[in-house]
Chain A
Amino acid sequence: MSLLRRLFRPVIELAPALARRAAAWRALPSLNDATTLAQARLVVVDVETTGLDPRRDRLLAIGACAVEGGRLHTGAGYEALLRQAIVGARENILIHGIGPQEQATGAAPEEALMGFLEFARKDLLVAFHAPFDQAVLDRAARAALGLRLLNPFIDLADLAPALCPEARLPHAGLDDWLAYFGLRAAQRHRAAHDAIATGELLLILLHRARTRGVVSVSALRALVERRANAGMGGA
């Protein structure tokens, strides 16, 4: 984010249509933190990558769906498989299950990312281990579109233990939380299925938040930040 890095960022030439879409997205109003959770649109996102290093590994797939008015719009989500210039040999294929053939037939990265940004608008993004998704998506959006992913993120890995301390799962993974609530992803490690499973977890957590009197986006974010800070202090 330093000035230097901004200056040295390669300039990306977008096709006119894409440039218009990028400009339109940039012009969208930012999220108003005072919005109530009942009104807010929360976008659950899950990415599949070639590995666990957000600075190096490539983005393979994006799955996203929105919670609006307390309802998860399961059938109206966003899903994209990104075409890969180089198809990795075996890498993470066993985890994400996206084979070389599928990797070669996906959408152009700029198209996939623009589509995702348009779906996400400037709304609150939600993910489990959000910093990873945030870093991967931001890097990919910069590379493909020259856009920064400016949306605020909420990390369910922090929100879940903050709202459900009784679960005693302070540093648990998504699978642990899904199991704790008896949720089942029809298929894990497929972005669309994971996004929906994560969305179900979010619905439960939003219900918890409501019963705790957490009504606004800002209050929810504050809760997560407190937990994140406390977690760091404790570590």
Chain B
Amino acid sequence: MLAPVMEFLRRHAPFDRMAESHLEFLAKRLRLGFYAKGEVITDPAAATARTFYVIKQGRVRGESDSQSGPAEDGAWELVAGECFPIGALLARRSVHTVHRAVEDTFCFELERDDFERLLAQSPVFHDFCTRRLANLLDQALRGVQASLAQEVSGDAALGAPLKSLVRRLPVACLPETSIRIALATMNAEHVGSIVVTDAVARPQGVFTLHDLLSRVTTSGVDLDAPIARVMTPAPLTLPADAPAYEAALLMASHGFGHVCVVEHGRLVGVVSERDLFSLQRVGMVNLSRSVARAPDVATLARLGRDVHRLVEQMLVQGASVAQLAQIVTLLNDRLTRRAIALVLADGGAPEALFTWLAFGSEGRLEQTLRTDQDNGILFTVPRGKTAEAVRTQWLPLAKRINQVLADIGFPLCPGNVMAGNPECCLSLDEWRTRFERWIDQGTPEHLLKASIFFDFRTIEGDDAPVNELRAFVLERCAANPRFLRQMAENTLRNRPPLGLVRDFVVPSGGEHPHTIDLKLQGTTPFVDGARLLALAHGLTETNTLARLRAAAHAGVVRPEEAEAWCDAYGFLLLLRMRHHQQQESRGETLDNHVDPDGLNELDRRVLKEAFRQARKLQSRLALDYQL
């Protein structure tokens, strides 16, 4: 009788990773309750939490019981497989949240005594509830992606009906067809798979090129044997009007690369994994091609918006932040290059060689959605000319490029870190002099600038002088421990907002009351810490994750430490991205202020863990520099 419950549990974290015996312990004790739409499940008015809930079906809204702000701000939704109220159960306190059924909802329920017994028995469950392990970040990442999926699936391609993905008539054969003929058909049709159907086109099996290796070639099956002998029987099928993501889910859960699309049980097409994911890849390839060919700024601006949409869809598809940042970087780099090319073609490029540099997040390959411009030019000075003369040639062009970039969606930098600013349009020698001054003098302003400029990267043009400049910076930093110490001091000023009782510290007043700044308090400590490690140990990477991993590789930090920091950083980035996306969909100005009470339980706990990792990184730096 346990089977149905066990099957449900195995589909959800953390139960999917729990030992069989613990799962059985749980399944035996779970009871199912029904809550009609609008009904309250947990109520802060009740004394201590006595029941652990796992949503089986339906949706539950958590409304935090805060006095500040309208209830809407502190509300979030839980869906099937999610658990509550873990914090209250662990602390044996009352539930601070009104959990209410948004629609008719079934919850599995476990008595507190049994909850505590399970906590004691199952390390996986314990980890899940106390969130002390970094692997939980993964789960939260998935959660963030799932919630994004809900938001965007309406217009995302994965919400499209499967029939819209079927590009051609299916290639099919009867079960008695010989393997030889089936292969010949596949070859003639240029397909990697063939569906075996009965006489009325109902799918009976699938045979793929992959099967050819394992089931035919290596096992010496006669090519005249019927295909039915080597096909994979009982193929996955979905009706033609099912949304594409259902196919993705089905493929993922069964590990099959193909889904048969049927109408009234009859085969009308095949959708492969590649079809699903090429949705976006095709989009990307097309996009970057169109960018490279864009004839004018207006076209480029439209493509800039497409890049934006693409990123949303990638997020939904579960791309990791690292993958995503790579793609955004790639596309933004192309946009920038095309903008440069359009301006130069129009205005006539000076003969002198130049490099277009990116600083800040662009230099770190960490752009998410819209990021302000941070750029500059490094030019070579031809014999017989002065740097000043070359600069005079470049500045008007650089200004035009900055304006074009602004037109296509990269806002002008309020701090004027832009190539059109004479201070950011320098020869190699001038850059060297400028950077050396910062390193030697180290005023607060210099430190701030260093934190932007020292993450420089080539976007367009000659790489050699850039590498030279980097080698110079690393050499000077290594020779100047005072500068590094000052940077460390600066870094440690941004303390993660964790309180003594491991809860969040949020301002009660000010411009953004009861919020956490995901950038300043969240990602910045990692970015600054990683930069410091790179500068101190001669690491040439500019990307934060790459810097942390390089530091581990160089033996500067332990690999486990570096990975935990990378995970934490990735989570914070993703949260920030989601926050921006939500603000954008509501037409609000983007900021980084998030109310921790507005996050779901899992995200909140992982956020705490991420801050704890930031604190660890900072303690490490404090130790290094005796601060």
Mark A residues whose CB is within 8 Å of B.
63, 65, 70-79, 181-184, 186-187, 192-193, 196, 199-200, 203-204, 206-207, 211
Q: Mark B102-146, 1 if CB is under 8 A from A, else 0.
A: 001010110000000000000000000000000000000000000
In-complex Cβ contact of B32 among A63, A72, A184 (8 A): A72
User: Is there an interface contact between B1 and A63, defined as CB atoms closer than 8 Å?
Assistant: yes
User: Is there an interface contact between A192 and B4, defined as CB atoms closer than 8 Å?
Assistant: yes
Complex CA distance for A187 and B1, rounded to whole angstroms: 13
Q: Which 8 A-B pairs have the closest CB atoms?
A: A203-B34, A77-B1, A71-B31, A72-B32, A79-B1, A75-B28, A75-B27, A74-B5
Q: How far is the CB of B54 from chain A (nearest CB, A)?
A: 11
Complex CA distance for A192 and B27, rounded to whole angstroms: 14
User: Is there an interface contact between B31 and A193, defined as CB atoms closer than 8 Å?
Assistant: no
User: Is there an interface contact between A182 and B32, defined as CB atoms closer than 8 Å?
Assistant: no
Instruction: Tell yes or no: B169 within 8 A of A by CB.
Output: no
Chain A residue at minimum C-beta to C-beta distance from B24: A75
Residues facing A in B30-52 (CB within 8 A) are 30-34, 36
Chain A residue at minimum C-beta to C-beta distance from B34: A203
Mark B residues whose CB is within 8 Å of A.
1-5, 7-8, 26-34, 36, 57, 104, 106, 108-109
Complex CA distance for A211 and B37, rounded to whole angstroms: 13
Chain A residue at minimum C-beta to C-beta distance from B8: A186
User: Is there an interface contact between B106 and A203, defined as CB atoms closer than 8 Å?
Assistant: yes
By a CB distance below 8 angstroms, the chain B residues around A200 are: 32, 34, 106
In-complex Cβ contact of A74 among B4, B36, B57 (8 A): B4
By a CB distance below 8 angstroms, the chain A residues around B1 are: 63, 65, 74-79, 192
Complex CA distance for A199 and B5, rounded to whole angstroms: 13
User: Is there an interface contact between B31 and A186, defined as CB atoms closer than 8 Å?
Assistant: no
Q: How far is the CB of A204 from chain B (nearest CB, A)?
A: 6
28 contacts between A and B (CB under 8 A): A63-B1, A70-B34, A72-B32, A74-B1, A74-B27, A74-B31, A74-B108, A75-B1, A75-B5, A75-B26, A75-B27, A75-B29, A76-B1, A77-B1, A78-B1, A183-B57, A186-B4, A187-B4, A192-B1, A192-B3, A196-B32, A199-B32, A200-B34, A203-B33, A203-B106, A204-B34, A206-B34, A207-B34
By a CB distance below 8 angstroms, the chain A residues around B109 are: 71
Complex CA distance for A75 and B104, rounded to whole angstroms: 22
By a CB distance below 8 angstroms, the chain A residues around B57 are: 182-184
User: Is there an interface contact between A207 and B36, defined as CB atoms closer than 8 Å?
Assistant: yes
Q: How far is the CB of A201 from chain B (nearest CB, A)?
A: 10
By a CB distance below 8 angstroms, the chain A residues around B27 are: 74-75
Having A71-B31, A71-B33, A75-B2, one finds 20 other A-B pairs with CB under 8 Å, namely A65-B1, A71-B109, A72-B31, A72-B33, A74-B4, A75-B1, A75-B5, A75-B27, A75-B28, A76-B1, A76-B28, A76-B29, A78-B1, A79-B1, A182-B104, A196-B32, A203-B34, A203-B106, A204-B104, A206-B34
Complex CA distance for A196 and B3, rounded to whole angstroms: 11
Q: How far is the CB of A178 from chain B (nearest CB, A)?
A: 12
User: Given A200-B106, A203-B106, A207-B36, A73 and B4 touching (CB < 8 A)?
Assistant: no
Complex CA distance for A201 and B370, rounded to whole angstroms: 49
Q: How far is the CB of A196 from chain B (nearest CB, A)?
A: 5
By a CB distance below 8 angstroms, the chain A residues around B8 are: 186
User: Is there an interface contact between A73 and B106, defined as CB atoms closer than 8 Å?
Assistant: no
By a CB distance below 8 angstroms, the chain A residues around B108 are: 74
Chain B residue at minimum C-beta to C-beta distance from A185: B4
User: Is there an interface contact between A74 and B32, defined as CB atoms closer than 8 Å?
Assistant: yes
Chain B residue at minimum C-beta to C-beta distance from A181: B104
User: Given A74-B108, A200-B106, A193 and B32 touching (CB < 8 A)?
Assistant: no
By a CB distance below 8 angstroms, the chain A residues around B3 are: 192-193
Q: How far is the CB of B130 from chain A (nearest CB, A)?
A: 25
By a CB distance below 8 angstroms, the chain A residues around B2 are: 75
Q: How far is the CB of A60 from chain B (nearest CB, A)?
A: 16
Complex CA distance for A53 and B31, rounded to whole angstroms: 34
Q: How far is the CB of A52 from chain B (nearest CB, A)?
A: 24
By a CB distance below 8 angstroms, the chain B residues around A76 are: 1, 28-29
Complex CA distance for A229 and B437, rounded to whole angstroms: 97
User: Is there an interface contact between B30 and A74, defined as CB atoms closer than 8 Å?
Assistant: yes
Complex CA distance for A187 and B5, rounded to whole angstroms: 12
Q: How far is the CB of A228 from chain B (nearest CB, A)?
A: 24
User: Is there an interface contact between A70 and B5, defined as CB atoms closer than 8 Å?
Assistant: no
**Most-contacted residue by chain A among B1, B30, B32, B109 (CB, 10 A):** B1
Complex CA distance for A79 and B57, rounded to whole angstroms: 24
Q: How far is the CB of A219 from chain B (nearest CB, A)?
A: 19
User: Is there an interface contact between B34 and A75, defined as CB atoms closer than 8 Å?
Assistant: no
Chain A residue at minimum C-beta to C-beta distance from B9: A75
Q: How far is the CB of B50 from chain A (nearest CB, A)?
A: 13
User: Is there an interface contact between A203 and B32, defined as CB atoms closer than 8 Å?
Assistant: yes
Complex CA distance for A63 and B104, rounded to whole angstroms: 25
In-complex Cβ contact of B30 among A75, A79, A184, A193 (8 A): A75
Chain A residue at minimum C-beta to C-beta distance from B28: A75
By a CB distance below 8 angstroms, the chain B residues around A207 are: 34, 36
Complex CA distance for A207 and B361, rounded to whole angstroms: 55
In-complex Cβ contact of A193 among B4, B28, B29, B33 (8 A): B4
Complex CA distance for A74 and B106, rounded to whole angstroms: 12
In-complex Cβ contact of A186 among B7, B29, B34, B106 (8 A): B7
User: Is there an interface contact between B4 and A70, defined as CB atoms closer than 8 Å?
Assistant: no
Complex CA distance for A199 and B32, rounded to whole angstroms: 9
By a CB distance below 8 angstroms, the chain A residues around B32 are: 71-74, 196, 199-200, 203
Chain A residue at minimum C-beta to C-beta distance from B58: A182
Complex CA distance for A196 and B57, rounded to whole angstroms: 13
Complex CA distance for A138 and B179, rounded to whole angstroms: 55
Complex CA distance for A106 and B28, rounded to whole angstroms: 22
Q: How far is the CB of B110 from chain A (nearest CB, A)?
A: 10
Q: How far is the CB of A58 from chain B (nearest CB, A)?
A: 22
Chain B residue at minimum C-beta to C-beta distance from A76: B28
Complex CA distance for A193 and B8, rounded to whole angstroms: 12
By a CB distance below 8 angstroms, the chain B residues around A63 are: 1
Chain B residue at minimum C-beta to C-beta distance from A70: B33
